[in-house]
């Protein structure tokens, strides 16, 4: 993985800085929280299940918070022991009692929590938003709520909501908060989408992930803006672990690995299109069945769902689709590409899928071997849209401007420059609609995420 490559390249630097850190944390005769953790050779972390935090995927543990935590454990040279909790209060009590070293839930840091715990460096900011079902009456303020807001007991959202309701100075409004231990935030969002409950409050990260699955989740208003995210630490210990966290986050930001990780989980879902998401989910459930077997048959080493996501972006799974430039079929092949891959009829679904998948596989093989996944896939996808030559131009621009040409997160920022004269006149292949290639790839990433989820739910 590209992230692993980053860690290896930083290894020497980490050893030097961490050695210095150890000596600054205390003398060998005075045990510190960090030295105790190192002697134990493990770090104990409390968290909650979720797509943005921690879950067991097909390839093992995954999640934005999990990968950050795994990086910190590698940084310290210890094993990572993750303890998922179902009850926030119990988890926080375990941290207070010294049975956990860190709590990392992806939640915002509230004033109530800051009074109770110490915190590492802030690494993200999120909004807390009141969510309702699109098509129902939209509340504009707390006074407009027509039903209770349901939140997870002990979570940041429940505390912030209680504060907001308390500020209305209305006894009736204060009773509009219901907390539950039986559902997590992702389940509450699902319940809003299905109409089982009227409202919940969610942070912008989790909401962005869930809106791809449930497009009818709508934002009524923002309860709190720009809330910091950080890992909680016991208040009754020295600052040695906190100092290590400051060093760690400084390093991952400086190296660019944090940006890579953030783009992996959130970079393609920040923008949301309600109509497009609804149309895609409907097509996935009703149209994809006609071509699913062909995608599986010709996917080769590719994930068939990725190939299907590409096809939807290309043609919306319409075999007779034609673009303004004359490309045709489910995989929108040009005449030259069709000829290269023995496709006689571009509107024939089987021929189009066979030709498109083999062409894409050939592009993947042409991406430099040093580029890891998923970056090489996103770059090959961009090349499918604008050609390998233009992709190389974007990578050269990236390197000229001090970026990493082997990272999608850096290259995608330069793709739109291929449409700007002051940049494309310096490139080998000249003008290209690079901004469209960027949109192309990010759309496919969203469609692919949705297909994976729908497939896991048995809906396709």
CATH number at residue 303: 1.10.530.10
- Give yes or no: residues 328 and 442 share one domain: yes
* Same domain, residue pair 294 and 360: yes
65, 67, 247, 314: the active-site residue: 314
Domain boundary residue, one of 228, 250, 283:
228
Note whether 258 and 290 are same-domain residues. Answer: no
**Percent helix, strand and coil across the chain, each to the nearest 5:** 55, 15, 30
Average pLDDT, the chain: 89
Q: Are residues 223 and 234 in the same domain?
A: no
Owning domain of residue 142: 125-228
Q: Are residues 374 and 416 in the same domain?
A: yes
The model's pTM: 0.75
C-alpha span between 200 and 178 (Å, rounded): 10
pLDDT category at 169 given cuts 50, 70, 90 is low
* Rounded Cα–Cα distance for residues 303 and 308 (Å): 9
In this structure, the answer to whether residues 307 and 252 fall within a common structural domain is: no
Instruction: Give the whole-angstrom CA distance, residue 262 versus residue 264.
Output: 5
pLDDT of residue 174: 58
Residue 27: the pLDDT is 46
188-239 per-position pLDDT tens digit: 999 999 999 999 999 998 998 888 889 899 999 999 888 899 999 999 999 9
Do 399 and 287 lie in one domain? The reply is: yes
Q: Is 262 a catalytic residue?
A: no
pLDDT band at 131 (very low <50, low <70, confident <90, very high): very high
* Tokens standing for residue 373: 């996944």
pLDDT in tens, 145-159: 999 999 999 888 888
Task: Give dist(CA 8, CA 246) in Å, integer.
Answer: 20
Task: Count structural domains, the chain.
Answer: 3
**Per-residue model confidence as pLDDT tens digits over 393-434:** 999 999 999 999 999 999 999 999 999 999 999 999 999 999
CB-CB neighbours of 315 under 10 Å: 21
Residues 183 and 84 in one domain: no
Res 18: pLDDT: 53
Domain end call among 267, 291, 315: 267
Residue 255: CATH number of its domain: 3.40.190.10
pLDDT for 273: 76
pLDDT over 80 (residue 5)? no
Partners of 149 in the beta sheet? Answer: 177, 199
Q: Are residues 161 and 72 in the same domain?
A: no
| Dist. CA 392–CA 389, nearest whole Å | 5
Span 370-388, pLDDT tens digits? 999 999 999 999 999 999 9
189 with 241, same domain: the answer is no
CB atoms within 10 A of CB 43: 21
Residues 290 and 211 in one domain: no
Alpha-carbon gap, residue 327 to 347, rounded angstroms: 10
Q: Which residue has the higher pLDDT, 13 or 290?
A: 290
Residues 248, 114 share a domain: yes
């Amino acid at each position: 993985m590209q992230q692993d490559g980053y860690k290896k390249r930083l290894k020497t630097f980490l050893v030097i800085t961490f050695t210095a850190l150890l000596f600054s944390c205390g003398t060998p005769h005075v045990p510190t929280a960090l030295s105790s953790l190192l002697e134990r050779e493990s770090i104990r972390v409390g968290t909650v299940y979720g797509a943005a935090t921690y879950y067991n995927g097909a390839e093992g543990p995954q999640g934005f918070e999990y990968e950050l935590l795994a990086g910190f454990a590698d940084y310290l040279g210890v094993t990572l022991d993750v303890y998922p909790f179902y009850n926030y209060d119990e988890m926080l009590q375990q941290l207070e009692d010294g049975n956990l070293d860190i709590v990392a839930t992806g939640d915002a840091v509230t004033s109530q929590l800051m009074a109770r715990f110490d915190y590492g460096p802030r690494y993200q900011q999120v909004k807390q938003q009141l969510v309702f079902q699109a098509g129902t009456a939209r509340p504009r303020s707390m006074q407009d709520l027509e039903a209770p807001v349901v939140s997870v007991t002990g979570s940041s959202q429940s505390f912030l909501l209680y504060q907001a309701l308390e500020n209305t100075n209305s006894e009736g409004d204060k009773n509009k908060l219901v907390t539950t231990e039986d559902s997590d935030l992702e389940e509450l969002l699902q319940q809003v989408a299905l109409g089982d409950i009227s409202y919940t409050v969610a942070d912008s990260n989790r909401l962005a992930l869930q809106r791809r699955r449930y497009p009818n989740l709508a934002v009524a208003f923002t309860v709190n803006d720009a809330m910091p995210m950080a890992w909680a630490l016991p208040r009754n210990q020295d600052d040695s672990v906190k100092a290590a966290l400051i060093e760690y986050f400084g390093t991952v930001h400086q190296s660019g690995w944090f940006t890579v990780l953030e783009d992996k989980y959130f970079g393609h879902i920040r923008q949301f299109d309600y109509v497009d998401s609804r149309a895609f989910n409907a097509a996935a459930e009703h149209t994809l069945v006609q071509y699913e077997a062909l995608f599986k048959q010709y996917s080769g080493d590719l994930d068939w769902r990725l190939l299907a996501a590409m096809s939807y972006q290309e043609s919306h799974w319409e075999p007779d689709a034609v673009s303004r430039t004359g490309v045709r079929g489910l995989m929108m092949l040009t005449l030259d590409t069709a000829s290269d891959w023995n496709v006689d009829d571009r509107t024939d679904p089987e021929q189009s899928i066979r030709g498109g998948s083999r062409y894409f596989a050939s592009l993947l093989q042409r991406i430099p071997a040093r580029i890891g996944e998923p970056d090489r896939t996103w770059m090959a996808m961009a090349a499918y849209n604008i050609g390998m030559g233009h992709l190389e131009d974007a990578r050269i621009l990236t390197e000229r401007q001090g970026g990493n040409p082997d990272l999608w997160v850096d290259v995608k920022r330069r793709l739109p420059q291929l449409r700007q004269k002051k940049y494309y006149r310096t490139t080998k292949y000249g003008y290209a609609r690079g901004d469209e290639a960027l949109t192309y790839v990010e759309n496919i990433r969203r469609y692919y995420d949705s297909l994976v989820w729908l497939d896991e739910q048995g809906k396709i």
